[in-house]
Structures are given as C-alpha cells and as structure tokens.
Amino acid sequence: MSIDKLIDSLASQGWYVWDDFLDLSDVQAIKQCIPETLQDARIGYLNTLQDNKGIRGDQTVWLESNMGAPIVRYLDKMESLRQELNYQLFLGLRDFETHFCRYPNGGFYKKHVDNFKGQGRRKITTVLYMNESWQLGDGGELVMYDLQDKALFKLEPLAGRMVFFLSEDFPHEVLPTQQKRESIAGWFLTEKIL
C-alpha cells in the first residue's frame, strides 16, 4: 500500500515519489477549477515579499475550498494524509497550505529550500504534477539535492505523480520549461494558518 511506502520512505530517507497519487480524471477536474488569471509568484515571507524573475518565473493561486468540489476532495485527501503522518510519525503537523503553479514556456525556479529564513513551520513539502502530455525534452523537471549539494535525482513532472520531502532537508529546483508546466505545491505545517 502506498501510504505505508510513504511513511517508511519519509522515515528512512526523507522523501518519496508516489506515482498515480491522483488519476487523470481527478487532475483534469482540479484544473477546471483553476482561474485563468494567476498572480506572478514572489519570494520571501510577509513584509519581505518581492518579485524576482531571476529566481522564479511561475504564476500561482492559493487553493481554497470555495473553488469547487474537486479542490475540496483534494484538500480532504491531504487532511487525511496529515492525520496519518501525525499518527505514524509523530510530526505535530497542524495544517496544510497549497497553491496551484503554472510555469510558462521558459519558466524555472532556482535552487531553494522551502522554509522562509527564520521560519521553520513548513515540515513536509508536496508537489502534485498535472502535465497530461509531458514528453522528454519538455523540461520543467524537479532536481532534488542533499544538504551537501549533491544531486539526488531528477523527476519528470508527469500528471498524477506526487513527490513528498522534508522541507528543510532537501534543496531543489525546477529546470527551465520548454512547454507550459502545471503543478500543485503544498506544505504540511507545524503551525495553524490564521
């Protein structure tokens, strides 16, 4: 069972790739709930937020339950997962935040860690891929590194695939895209969102 593999893999190596986390019909239903117009992504936290096209070139929208039933089903699935992770790994996860990301042709996100400077509330990062016809050469792969800057793997952004990893332990980057690339990034948090 994949949930057991997720638990074992997070405990032993700190990351896990779950192919077919969602089936194609679920991915398509979620995409139909996403508004056409998105915001240019920014870097930083609260009063330090800034645009920086030299670091990231995607557009985002935060997912909310009022966006439609497919989003609610996704958020419910992630809530069940949060509870199971707490039950089995005692992580103290209290909430989940998530946004849809669209990388236009040429978009990228340079190597970074998913906790803001001075913050440690993001415990586990999730990325769900939504690219139904991704082909070799389309770019947009995720490259994961260890804390010694050694590349661990390069992951193709195939629709329905989800990667999980400990947010503070794995610097990562999104390679430049040659086609539009879509995903949902999320974070299990040790603090409740206000």
The domain segmentation of the chain, as residue ranges, is 3-35+56-190
Closest residue by Cα to residue 103 from 71, 134, 64, 147: 134
Does position 94 have pLDDT exceeding 50, yes or no? yes
How high does pLDDT run on average in the chain?
90
CA dist 3 and 164 (Å) reads 12
Say what the pTM is. Answer: 0.90
Indicate if the alpha-carbon torsion angle 168, 188, 122, 21 is positive or negative: positive
| Helices 69-89 and 2-12, packing angle to 10 deg | 50
Q: Is the pLDDT of residue 182 over 70?
A: yes
Provide the pLDDT confidence category of residue 99 given band limits of 50, 70 and 90.
very high
In the three-class reduction of DSSP (H, G, I as helix; E, B as strand; rest coil), residue 186 is classed as strand
Task: Tell the CATH superfamily of the 3-35+56-190 domain.
Answer: q2cbj1_9rhob like domain (2.60.120.620)
89 membership: H or E segment, kind and range = helix 69-89
Contact 167, 124 (CB under 8 A): yes
Q: Which residue has the higher pLDDT, 82 or 117?
A: 82
Q: What is the mean pLDDT of residues 95-104?
A: 95
